[in-house]
Amino acid sequence: MVTAGMRRYRNRTQLQATLIGPRGSDLLDLDTLFPDAAPKARVRLELGFGHGEFISALAKAHPEDRLIGVEQDDLRVTKTAHRCIKDGVANVRLFAGEAHGFVRFRLRPASIHRIYVLFPDPWPKLGHRRRRLLTRSVLLDLSHAAAPGCRLVMASDTHEYVFQCLSNLSTLGGLWRNLYQPAGYRIDIPTRFPTLFERHKKAEGCRIAYLSMERTDAPPPPRAPWPVRPGPQPAGQRTL
């Protein structure tokens, strides 16, 4: 269901479109995406940016960095572009699409310096948990895209999901260093740019769990082949 407030984002302005990256499965050319950025500027990635509060505030705080956001909902992509323009930031490029395919096919190896996955859909029912984003396969693909020293930050009010993510990361031996020792996670720490969902959950009295991991310089292992989707596809073409 599309709310009345979101209907206005069905039509995208030319100015909003300047912050929205092209669809497809080609590797990103960061110099083309960010022509005004320094060649070695850090790249920050947010998977599932929702209504855009976090990525816009982060971009404003770090104008020297390049920020990439991926979101499934096309209306939210336009809304976040609107928010970024309103906040006066231009160092953001937003993409509509499925996050795992984006990570696998569009990010170059060792190109990302910060990764944020904040309050991903928890799919709390046992039969639905296979739909969660932070599977071992996705985390392995992120390990390929992450540069040595890259920080991975995850937050959720569903603590079981946080522990599942931590367990999946532990199977990628030597690739990630846990920065929240000795417990491996933190509860209700102060955050610099809280999202709308985070504020709502804290107002409800929910406790928030956080992970912070750092990519080591260990080479990642090979990945399993990308699953072939049913139905005819042109030779060599991937569907994202």
Rounded-to-integer distance, Cα 94 and Cα 48, Å: 10
Query: 59-63, 95-99, 146-150, 189-193: which has the minimum mean pLDDT?
Result: 189-193
Domain ranges of the chain: 4-215
Per-residue confidence band for 230, with pLDDT thresholds at 50, 70 and 90: low
pLDDT of 1: 54
The verdict on whether 121 is a catalytic residue reads yes
Per-residue confidence band for 210, with pLDDT thresholds at 50, 70 and 90: very high
Q: How far is CA 148 from CA 53, 82, 112, 124, in A?
A: 27, 33, 9, 33
8 Å CB contact between 93 and 67: yes
- 231 versus 104: the higher-pLDDT residue is 104
Phi, psi angles (nearest 5°) of residue 43: -115, 125
pLDDT of 132: 93
pLDDT of 235: 42
Instruction: Encode the chain in three state secondary structure.
Output: CCCHHHHHHHCCCHHHHCCECCCCCCCCCHHHHCCCCCCCCCEEEEECCCCCHHHHHHHHHCCCCEEEEEECCHHHHHHHHHHHHHCCCCCEEEEECCHHHHHHHHCCCCCEEEEEEECCCCCCCHHHHHHCCCCHHHHHHHHHHEEEEEEEEEEECCHHHHHHHHHHHHCCCCCEEECCCCCCCEECCCCCCCCHHHHHHHHCCCCCEEEEEEECCCCCCCCCCCCCCCCCCCCCCCCC
pLDDT of 238: 42
Per-residue confidence band for 84, with pLDDT thresholds at 50, 70 and 90: very high
Tokens encoding 95: 């993409």
The active-site residue out of 74, 121, 188, 217 is 121
pLDDT tens digits along 8-29: 777 889 999 999 999 999 999 9
- Rounded mean pLDDT of the chain? 91
Tokens encoding 106: 């569009």
Identity of the residue numbered 203: A
Write down the pTM of the prediction: 0.91
Q: Give the CATH number of domain 4-215.
A: 3.40.50.150
